[in-house]
């Protein structure tokens, strides 16, 4: 899934390009790009963590391997998932998480689905998590992925959890300013002096 990205002057990536590469947003205007400049821009984009499109798109991709809502297979799957996950499954149930939530994800509102995924997984007890892994794994095993159903289901849950965390963490960074960055580096730079004589009890 491709999530389109537009730069504006408040964007973390835009600030990075301007600060690190000394490039205005409308650069290079009438001039062409050379290979080195393209490589630097690609590198900056790959390191972009403000909205973290890669994680955002990957989170959506994880849902694409599950049966589609509104189909016979999907209705059976989501009903089974609800039985396995109990009330926690309501966070990602298509009736609650469908409609605008994935649309907003495509429009760069990443936190909505990620929030729901983490709430879902955080509310599962160990027994429910195992049961949910079995339901998801059974579907993935039919897709000819290698591994047992239980293992595949656990992989899906682990991947979804980590990816959702990346998205939320990156969304937080979108609100950080240059002053926030300076305070961070100053605090850690001064820490070696402040904590030099510190010894744990």
Sort 27 into a burial class: Cβ within 10 Å, 0-12 / 13-18 / 19+: middle
Rounded Cα distance between 168 and 56, Å, is 10
User: Residue 6: what pLDDT?
Assistant: 44
Q: Is the dihedral of CA 138, 79, 99, 56 positive or negative?
A: negative
The predicted model scores a pTM of 0.68
Closest CA to 121 of 169, 164, 75: 164
- Torsion angles phi and psi, residue 72, rounded to 5: -55, -45
- 3-state secondary structure at position 109: coil
- Contact assessment for residue 157 and residue 136, using Cβ atoms and an 8 Å cutoff: yes
pLDDT (tens, 9 = 90+) of the chain, 201 residues, equals 333 444 444 555 566 666 666 666 666 666 666 667 677 767 666 655 444 566 777 888 899 999 999 999 999 999 999 999 999 999 999 988 766 677 766 655 556 788 889 999 999 999 999 999 999 999 999 877 777 888 999 999 999 999 898 888 877 766 667 788 788 888 888 886 666 555 655
- Contact assessment for residue 140 and residue 129, using Cβ atoms and an 8 Å cutoff: no
Rounded Cα distance between 111 and 102, Å, is 11
Q: Each residue of 169-186: b (16+ CB within 10 Å) or e?
A: ebbeebeeeeeeeeeeee
Rounded Cα distance between 136 and 151, Å, is 10
């Amino acid at each position: 899934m491709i999530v389109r990205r537009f730069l504006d002057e408040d964007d973390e990536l835009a600030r990075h390009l301007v600060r690190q590469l000394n490039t205005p947003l409308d650069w290079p205007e009438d001039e062409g790009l050379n290979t080195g400049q393209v490589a630097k821009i690609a590198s900056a984009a790959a390191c972009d963590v403000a909205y973290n499109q890669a994680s955002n798109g990957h989170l959506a991709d994880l849902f694409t391997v599950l049966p589609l809502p509104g189909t016979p297979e999907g209705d059976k799957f989501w009903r089974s998932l609800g039985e396995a996950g109990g009330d926690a499954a309501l966070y990602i149930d298509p009736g609650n998480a469908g409609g605008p939530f994935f649309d907003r994800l495509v429009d760069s509102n990443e936190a909505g689905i990620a929030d729901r995924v983490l709430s879902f997984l955080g509310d599962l007890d160990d027994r429910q998590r195992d049961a949910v892994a079995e339901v998801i794994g059974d579907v993935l095993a039919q897709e000819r992925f290698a591994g047992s159903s239980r293992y595949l289901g656990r992989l899906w849950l682990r991947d979804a959890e980590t990816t959702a965390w990346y998205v939320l963490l990156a969304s937080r960074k979108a609100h950080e300013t240059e002053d926030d960055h300076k305070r961070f580096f100053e605090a850690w730079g001064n820490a070696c002096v402040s904590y030099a004589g510190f010894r744990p009890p």
